[in-house]
Chain A
């Protein structure tokens, strides 16, 4: 038996605020609607869209959407159309609709590559509006019904999601997909000395832990982005697939050569939580695309220092390619956001305040023994060579900071003179 769902207070507040006569009357109507199969969320959206008590009652009375007469599944409009069809009368409204894009033939710039997003964008409706009026899933540039419903999108301004390289990055991502099952030479994996296997598995555990954040975080915001900016959503879908593969490939590595999954730290989880629960997309995007994935990109870049065989080399290199796309989107999104924000100075100040705190994550990452010691063991080719490995870790520190500051500068977000992250490793 299904339990009656309690009516949320906010929904009643909203109904009263929208001019519904009394709380009691609103509660009765809402209860009836829930019983007819509508959800609380649908009712919230309907109230936002101006559903009046009269209209609500009218709809519920008919309630033909869900409860129909036995044997009749058609509504009035459908009946009318069926009658017309029987008489051979077609509607044909679609044939007389305005045709803003009739006759468009997008051309391939490069036939061997195929028809790209850039090609079709060049041909028609390629440039999204800064603030599209509609909140629909209708393809940009299509003819849209006047009474089209509102999807409840939150990000309806181009600067909130856009980056100028996003279409190219989507195409690049599609062209460079790989399989962690097929494209990694797993048969080249050979038993390693215990210290190297442990180090490799500690890093693989860490990476398998952190990778999925870069799918979960964008997914959380993706539905809230106006579909007018479909290229951004499509790119984020490729990122989600990339991260699934990264989780997969490092989990496979940990479990494929005698080591296994190792320690996960609460500090790492705290940082992931900060990203996942960032209050806005730009904040989370900066934390993740620019800062977090920038650091991870440098680990992947060090792949040949860390790899002990062809298997690991391929893993790191292929992940590096994917990761660099994510970081490129984040950098160019930050640039677009800051350049087009209506209150530039305030936005800049807010981002600096965020970066002040977020940059604490860099030393948090680079003074963590569960991260830098396995890196040093791999770079020094064993515990015996750890001192030499630490020298390489110090170089990684310098480069991580440098590349992060370079990306910020490119985005018009100069952190070089204000960052508190030391230029050199303090060890």
Chain B
């Protein structure tokens, strides 16, 4: 059972995306390196998801995803856990647990990027990025201790 967060977990989600190629093709390709940061301070874990074409080409653990990513989605482990559990419970997130909703001003998570054009990539590819995380519904997940 892959543990969140880990390279294995993102790869497991990525494999499900690959199995759903036609559906993801319909959504459009994604050209973006998406950073994921889980936790805060020294204990934070960082990942770089290299989206290319209709899926994720490579996942790696990195110290500071913001240095390498076009944009990074950041949140505490509990916020990520809430989101993933919500996706698991409903097969997809309810209105309160989409990435877009959770990263708005005054909400627990954030999208950070070097400049606004990179932030805008999160908007431009939003449906595909959300659909990627929705595949977490089919990955039995164990969570790291928060």
Which residues does A use to contact B, with CB under 8 Å? Answer: 110, 112-113, 168, 172, 175-176, 297, 301-305, 307-310, 313, 317-318, 320-321, 323-325, 327-328, 331-332, 391-392, 395-396, 398-399, 403, 406-407, 409-410
Contacts of B53 in A (CB 8 A): 110, 112-113
In the assembled complex, 17 residue pairs joining A and B whose CB atoms fall closer than 8 Å, in A order, are A112-B53, A112-B54, A172-B29, A176-B27, A301-B100, A301-B104, A305-B101, A310-B95, A321-B124, A321-B125, A321-B127, A324-B121, A328-B117, A331-B117, A403-B116, A403-B119, A407-B117
How far does the Cβ of A232 sit from chain B's closest Cβ, in whole Å?
Answer: 18
A304 proximity list for chain B (CB < 8 A)? 95-96, 98, 100-101, 104
- Bitwise, B83-119 to A at CB < 8 A (1) or not (0) is 0000000000001101011001110000000011101
B104 to chain A, nearest CB (A): 7
Q: Which 6 A-B pairs have the closest CB atoms?
A: A304-B101, A406-B116, A324-B123, A176-B28, A175-B28, A395-B105
Query: CB distance A396 to B105 under 8 Å?
Result: yes
Say yes or no: B123 contacts A321, CB within 8 Å.
yes
Tell me, rounded to whole Å, the shortest Cβ–Cβ distance linking B98 to chain A: 5
CA distance A410 to B31 in the complex (A): 20
Residues of the A chain whose Cβ atoms lie less than 8 Å from the Cβ of B142: none
Which of chain A's residues have a CB closer than 8 A to the CB of B127? 176, 317-318, 321
Cα–Cα distance between A331 and B121 once the two chains are bound (Å): 13
* Complex: A42 Cα to B104 Cα, angstroms: 55
CA distance A341 to B142 in the complex (A): 56
Interface centre among A168, A297, A407 (most CB of B within 10 A): A407
A399 touches B105 (CB 8 A): yes
> Is B95 a contact of A313 with CB atoms below 8 Å?
yes
Task: State whether A398 and B105 are in contact (beta carbons under 8 Å apart), knowing that A110-B53, A112-B54 are contacts in the complex.
Answer: yes
Residue in chain A with minimal CB distance to B52: A110
Q: Does any Cβ of A come within 8 Å of B141's Cβ? A: no
From residue B26, how far is it (CB to closest CB) to chain A in Å? 9
Is B6's beta carbon under 8 Å from chain A?
Answer: no
User: Closest CB-CB distance, A87 to chain B, in whole Å?
Assistant: 55
- Shortest A316–chain B CB gap in Å is 9
CA distance A304 to B92 in the complex (A): 14
CB–CB B115/A324 < 8 A: no
Contact assessment for B29 and A113 in the assembled complex, using a CB-CB cutoff below 8 Å: yes
Give the shortest distance, in Å, between B117 (CB) and chain A (any CB).
6
Question: Is B8's CB within 8 Å of the partner chain A?
Answer: no
Select which of B31, B52, B96, B120 is within 8 A of A328 by beta carbon: B120
Complex: how many Å from CA A110 to CA B31? 12
Using Cβ atoms and an 8 Å threshold, which residues of chain B touch A110?
A: 52-53
